[in-house]
Structures are given as structure tokens and as C-alpha cells.
Structure 1
Amino acid sequence: MSTASESGGRGSATRAVIVDDSRFMRTLIRRLLEEGGIEVVGEADDGSEAVDAVVEHDPDVVTMDIEMPTMNGIEAVEAIMDEHPTPVLMLSAHAEEDADVTFEALDRGAVDFVTKPGGEVTSSMPSVKRELVEKVESAARVDLSADTRMSSASASAGSSASTASASSAGRAGTATAGGAKSEATASSAPTTGGTDSTAAAPAGRTYPDAGTLVIGASTGGPNVVERVLSGLPRAANLRVLVVQHMPEGFTSRFSARLDDKSEYEVREADESERIGPGEARVAPGGHHLVVSGDRNGRLRLELTETEPIHGVRPAVDVAMASAAENAAHPLCAVLLTGMGRDGVDGMGRTADAGGHTIAQDEATSAIFGMPKRAIETGRVDTVAPAEEIAESALQYFAED
């Protein structure tokens, strides 16, 4: 089984099984992967055959189409996780309906997704190959047991969370400042992927009029980001910025999912908007998110299409560094699971500015790359499992 080590694997090329009902697409993906040094050990044209191929070949990673006959991609992900747990990378088209299905696949156990390559040969094919190969390599190194540990920890706290949820649901729902959702609305939000849907502020705890929380994540991050957002009570008065490595076309759906699970008003960020307490914004795919000012408790946000940082756009470093420079205190930066070093400099800049820094621990990180590198710099104040990150941030922001 794959581990969280970024240099892990079996001492040889990453081994993949390709699943797609199109022979042409399987041939194209095979060519792109093999040119990138990935060993393709098997193919399947539907979900049922995919399960058999995974059991037979024991690959490091599976690339999975969504729409297939007999057994679709989501059903295949569930079957693979039940019978032979293996990291699955979903191949998703740029369409809203595919975005929704892709997030459902992540809920069922898929570790990441990548935009499905087009059939035509174009000048952009080298970048398509690079992205596909990088995503496959990253997915192959995911520690699937991290999600199990996170879910187990969540389950052990289930009774207290249920009590808090019932209490929150019983309160009258009224509109709050900054356009935030009512508590009653937030309490009734649906849950998926094991995340909690409500967050009750501890009795007697008070918060500043406005604090800033910047969250960065990559592979394995969506469900953890959901968990953190769902754990933030509106009473904390936070302005929340989320940078999740995710392609254009998917961040708007990701924002909607977060909005369903949070007491905060969550949307994809717009150019030159201002946000206040109780509002959260997600960096759009293909754009860096920049904090350009903080006046009267409202952050001014800008979007840029400058060069990718660490090969990604949006980059966590950009959002964290700009918040450290321009956001008023209190300021907290959180770095979650992911491969590489994006966010490491941003965490350091936050610490230099007098802010608080939190990194996800190894046990609950799908890939302990970004947080590990930040911890190694000595600039991380708190290392916490996924289920405790929201509370760790709230403890920092609390004035009592």
C-alpha cells in the first residue's frame, strides 16, 4: 500500500492501472504516462473490470474515468476501497456536472482528480502530460490510512459534536453582520465525507471584531478544508481565505460545498471585492489570491494571473505572504496536507509578522509534504490532527 512519503514507492517506476471505456482515451493516457516514466501495468474499460485489475496487478495508483457502463467510476472507487484499497485519481471533464460527481468520488475515497486530456493533439499537450504525470505521482504517494485515522478520531468525538449540533440547531436563526448565514441555516447543512456541519462557540469565549484565517491545502485537502470550515463558529468573527490546489472550473463548486457545511458565507473570490467577518473566499483555479488591504474590518482581495509559484496557481504562498503584509492582527495561517513546499514561505512570513501558524500532523495527512517542510523550518507554532485544527485556531483568536 502507498505511504505518505514523497520519495516513497517501491524503488522503481510508479505502477498504474488505467480505467476508461474509450480505447482511444486509454491509449492516449498510456502514452502520456509512459512518456513521463510511469509504468502502466493494466487497463480496464469499466468499473467492474477495474476492481479485478487492481486486485490482480496491485498498482500504486489508478486513473479512473467517471462515466462508464456496467459500473461507473464512483461505484468502482467504493469497490476498490472495500476490496483492495489503492489511491484513485479521477479524470474529470471541464463541466459542472462532472465537477459535482468528482467531489462525490472524493467523498467515496478517491484521493485527487485531474482534468481529462482532450483527444486532439495540440501545442498544450506537453503541459497536459506534465500535469497528468505529476498528479499520478502525487496520488501514488497518498497515505490512505490517514483518512481512516481522521475518521476514527472524528467518530470518537461524535457524541459531543452531536450535542453541540443539537444545541446550535435549537437557537433562533437570525441574519448576522457581513451577510453571514443564520445559525439555523448552518445547523441544517448536510454532511458528507465525514465532516461536521456545525460549530458552537464555547461558553464564555469572546473574539476580536475581526480576525484573518488563511488556509492552504493540496492533495487530500478538500475534505480536511471542509472539516476546518465546519468547525468555525460565526461568533469567531473571522475573514477566511482558502487556497486549495484545484483547476479552474472546480473551485466554484468547491466553494458551494464549503458553504453548505459552514456557518460562514463561502464563495469563490471576485476581483477587487471586500470581505468582512463571517465571510470566506476560495481562490479561483488559475488565479493567485492577494490581500491588498484591510480597512474598517474588511479585507480587500485582488486576483492575479502572474506566473505560477512552485508550479501552481493559485499558490498558498501568495495568499499567506500578502495577508502577513496587509491584514491587521490577529492573523493565523494553516497549512494542510499536500506534496511539495507551497505554503512554507507563507507560514514563515506569517510568523515574521507576529501571526500564529498551524500545520496538519503526519498521522492525518494524506501526504505529509507541505506541512512537514513548514515544521522543519521551526516557524510552526502548533502541529495538530485534522479534527483539532479548527479548535487550535479558535484558541489563538479567543480573547479570554
Structure 2
Amino acid sequence: MKLKVLVVDDTIVYRKILSDVLADFPSVEVVGTASNGKIALSRIESLKPDLITLDVEMPVMDGVQTLEEIHKMKLGIGVIMVSTLTKKGSEITMKALELGAFDFVTKPDSESREENIKQIRASLAPRINHFLKRFELKKALKGDRAQKKEEKPREPREPRPAPPSRTPGRSTYEKSDIVAIGISTGGPNALTKMLPMLPGNLGVPVAIVQHMPPLFTKSLAESLNQKCALEVKEVQDGETVRKNVVYIAPGGKQTKIVAGANQARIFRVTDDPPENNCKPSVDYLFRSVAREYKSKVTGVIMTGMGNDGTLGLKVMKSFGAVTMGQDADTCVVYGMPKIAWDAGVVDMEFPLEKIAAEITSTVKR
């Protein structure tokens, strides 16, 4: 069974590009297009798409308004936002991601149509693949539940053995002096839920790498700052690391923490190359945090695709830091946390709603 996709964009050029790119995926069937959100909503009932690519800025009804209506109607459709690399585009995209959009891609601005198609294909491919895995899993679970309802009650089975326990990387009595978080797909929505649970007197800095391009990280920081007891800001090169501040690494750059004057620590924002195809990279930040804070670190890996963060957590663990991950049930994509867990560099996994309390416990000992 193919993934049915509806393409929604107000420009005929991008409706055509997106439709052609998606049609090339063997697992996808483009069932229709629409030029704005209002038309898209009218076509959802008849076309019954599983996924929508939704332009952020459109006349009549923009991407956020459309997404809000999809939620109100409880349609259960996946949404990938298609955004421009502008401040307005980043702000609207941030709202959409906080509302639960699966992910987003940015519209390339090359003068070559072929180059634009190449870039969109490269951006869409991993997102479609991960969404398809999630979609198939949900369908399988739904079918399994339906089958169980029809079956006669069975004899209870022996419980499965619990996974082997892991020894925390350091003494449970030692207090962390910093929290470092790596996150990607599903991140804005997860951070919107988790960060407001942290107290305003946390007592330590929080440094976050969220995989995003320039402008988007600033919009994310501004949005989160309105919701949190802690101050949330985008990192500036050379600024001192302060307690009770959440720092978001800027998109398109690498961010690390280094020693400054008078025992202070400062951020350095560099143009070093990507790691794991990521800029900012979780590994890049995590290594610097481990070097500067040694064992007094709480490392957290959350929802996202890929393996960024695993090697950084390994360095943290070598110094005796405590590490935790988001569990599979609450991840939009259980990729980064799974790879880190399988590598043995995560001490504990927790559902999203418990992560803030667990973080607080490691810095308030």
C-alpha cells in the first residue's frame, strides 16, 4: 500500500516540483494538489490523504490556520511544512511544529530548476522514509488491536524478561553543573512541552542543539522564551554561559563551550564543517561540554532522525556524566535516542512528560 500525499502550495511551480519529486518515490502516490488551505480542507474528505505537504505562507488560509483546522477536525493526517528561508516563514513554521507538524523542509532559491529539485528531493527523502515507517507501524498496531478484539481470550503469557539494568555513569550523589540536550525531528513540539516544566531557579545553564537552518533557531528561541520560566535565547558568539538560561545553538553554525577569563565559560560560534551532515551538530556541542564540565553534566538525547549525539554522549560517559534519552513511545522519530541507547551511552530512558523532572533531579541533588 502506498502513502497517499496531497500537495498544498499557492505557486504552481512548487506544486509541480513537489508533485514530481514525490511521485518518484516508489512508496508514494500523489493523490492531488491544492493552491491554499481552504481548498485543501475541501479535498481531504474525498482524497483521504495520509500526509500533506503544506506551504507555510498562502493566501485565504495559511499553513498554521490549515493545520489548526486539521486538528479541530481530528483528521489524524501527517503534515510536512514547506517553508521559505525568511523571518516570517520561520516564525510561522515554528508555530506549525509546536502544533504537531511532523517536520519541515525549506524551499531552495537556486536559479536552476534542476538544482531546486535536487535539493528538495534530498530534504524530503529521509522525512518521507521516517514518516512511512511511523505510518506503517501505526497501521500494524491498529490492525493488531482490532484482531485482538475479535479473538477469544487467551491464557496469560509469562512476562518478558526486563532489559539488563544500566549503571549510571557517576555517583548518584553528585550534582550536575550544566544540562546539554540534542534534538531534531519533532523537537519544537517536544521542547514546547518539556522546557516549561523546568523551574525558573534551575540553577544551571541548559545548552540545546536543535537541527534547524538559520533564522529558524532564533524564531524557536523567541517562541520558547514566551512559554518558559527560564530565559531562552539563541547563542551569541563570545557570550558568557549563565545559570538559569536556556541557550539554543544557531542554525547553519557550530556551537561549543570553551574556557574564558576568570574561570568563566563562554560560547564560541564557529563555521567549522558539518558533522553527521548537521550544522549545528549535537556531537560538536556535547564534546565541548564534556571537556569543560567533566562528570558534572546531564546529557539528554531526544526525538530525531539520524545518529547525531551518540559519539558526544560517549565522550560524556567517559568522564562519568549522567545521560538520559526520550523513550520510543513519545518520540516523533525514535532515531537519535535509539542509536544512543543501542550504543550503551544512555543510562535511562523516560517518556517526554517525565524528562524535565528527571533533569531537575540531577541538578538539585
Counterparts of 2:174 and 2:244, CA distance in 1: 12
SS of 2:246 mapped into structure 1: strand
Contact kept, 8 Å, 2:204 with 2:244, in 1: the verdict is yes
Q: Give the superposition deviation at 1:371.
A: 0.9
Q: Which residue of 1 aligns with 2:212?
A: 246
Q: CA offsets per residue over residues 65-100 of structure 1, 9 Å max, x none?
A: 123344332222123332421110111112222222
SS of 2:274 mapped into structure 1: coil
Q: Does 1:134 align with 2:99?
A: no
Counterparts of 1:267 and 1:71, CA distance in 2: 30
Counterparts of 1:387 and 1:296, CA distance in 2: 38
Instruction: Decide which of 4, 12, 19 is 1:23's aligned counterpart.
Output: 12
Q: Which residue of 2 aligns with 1:75?
A: 65
Contact kept, 8 Å, 1:87 with 1:140, in 2: the verdict is no
Q: Give the superposition deviation at 1:313.
A: 1.0
- Cα 1:85–1:291, aligned 2, differ >3 Å: closer, same or farther? same
Counterpart of 2:127, as a letter, is K
Q: Which residue of 2 aligns with 1:115?
A: 106
Q: Which residue of 2 aligns with 1:199?
A: none
- Cα 1:68–1:357, aligned 2, differ >3 Å: closer, same or farther? same
Q: Give the superposition deviation at 1:207.
A: 9.7
Uncovered stretches (5+) of structure 1, i.e. residues with no partner: 1-9, 147-205
Counterpart of 2:77, as a letter, is T
Equivalent positions of 1:169-248 (< 5 A) are 211-248=177-214
Counterparts of 1:246 and 1:144, CA distance in 2: 27
Q: Which residue of 1 aligns with 2:349?
A: 383
Q: Which residue of 1 aligns with 2:251?
A: 285
Counterpart of 2:111, as a letter, is E
Instruction: Decide which of 33, 46, 53 is 1:43's aligned counterpart.
Output: 33
Q: Does 1:106 align with 2:97?
A: yes
Instruction: Decide which of 226, 231, 241 is 1:275's aligned counterpart.
Output: 241
Q: Does 1:323 align with 2:289?
A: yes
Instruction: Decide which of 270, 277, 280 is 1:311's aligned counterpart.
Output: 277
Q: Give the superposition deviation at 1:36.
A: 5.7
Q: Give the superposition deviation at 1:229.
A: 2.3
Counterparts of 2:127 and 2:226, CA distance in 1: 28
Q: Give the superposition deviation at 1:18.
A: 0.7
Using the TM superposition, name which of 67-76 and 41-50 deviates more.
67-76
Using the TM superposition, name which of 304-313 and 51-60 deviates more.
51-60
Counterparts of 1:105 and 1:78, CA distance in 2: 9
TM-score by length of 1: 0.74
Counterparts of 1:89 and 1:236, CA distance in 2: 34
Q: Give the superposition deviation at 1:356.
A: 0.7
Counterpart of 1:352, as a letter, is S
Counterparts of 1:235 and 1:68, CA distance in 2: 41
Counterpart of 1:44, as a letter, is A
Contact kept, 8 Å, 2:303 with 2:337, in 1: the verdict is yes
Q: Does 1:301 align with 2:286?
A: no
Using the TM superposition, name which of 115-124 and 72-81 deviates more.
115-124
Contact kept, 8 Å, 1:294 with 1:326, in 2: the verdict is no
Counterpart of 1:109, as a letter, is G
Instruction: Decide which of 358, 363, 371 is 2:337's aligned counterpart.
Output: 371
Q: Give the superposition deviation at 1:328.
A: 4.6
Counterpart of 1:245, as a letter, is H
Counterparts of 2:125 and 2:246, CA distance in 1: 32
Counterpart of 2:52, as a letter, is V
Q: Give the superposition deviation at 1:372.
A: 1.3
Q: Give the superposition deviation at 1:263.
A: 2.7
Counterparts of 1:296 and 1:60, CA distance in 2: 56
Q: Does 1:85 align with 2:72?
A: no
Uncovered stretches (5+) of structure 2, i.e. residues with no partner: 139-172
Q: CA offsets per residue over residues 235-267 of structure 1, 9 Å max, x none?
A: 331111010011111111111122222232221
**What is the aligned length?**
328
Using the TM superposition, name which of 323-332 and 311-320 deviates more.
323-332
Q: CA offsets per residue over residues 285-344 of structure 1, 9 Å max, x none?
A: 111211223776643221222222222211111111221122254201111111111112
Contact kept, 8 Å, 2:294 with 2:321, in 1: the verdict is no
Counterparts of 2:136 and 2:215, CA distance in 1: 27
Q: Which residue of 2 aligns with 1:171?
A: none
Q: Does 1:341 align with 2:307?
A: yes
Counterpart of 1:75, as a letter, is Q
Counterpart of 1:40, as a letter, is V
- Cα 1:93–1:264, aligned 2, differ >3 Å: closer, same or farther? same
Q: CA offsets per residue over residues 140-180 of structure 1, 9 Å max, x none?
A: 5557999xxxxxxxxxxxxxxxxxxxxxxxxxxxxxxxxxx
TM-score by length of 2: 0.81
SS of 1:275 mapped into structure 2: coil
- Cα 1:297–1:282, aligned 2, differ >3 Å: closer, same or farther? farther
Contact kept, 8 Å, 2:295 with 2:319, in 1: the verdict is no
Counterparts of 1:334 and 1:253, CA distance in 2: 22
SS of 1:270 mapped into structure 2: coil
Q: Give the superposition deviation at 1:27.
A: 0.8
Contact kept, 8 Å, 1:344 with 1:373, in 2: the verdict is yes
Counterparts of 1:397 and 1:78, CA distance in 2: 37
Q: Which residue of 1 aligns with 2:168?
A: none
SS of 2:76 mapped into structure 1: coil
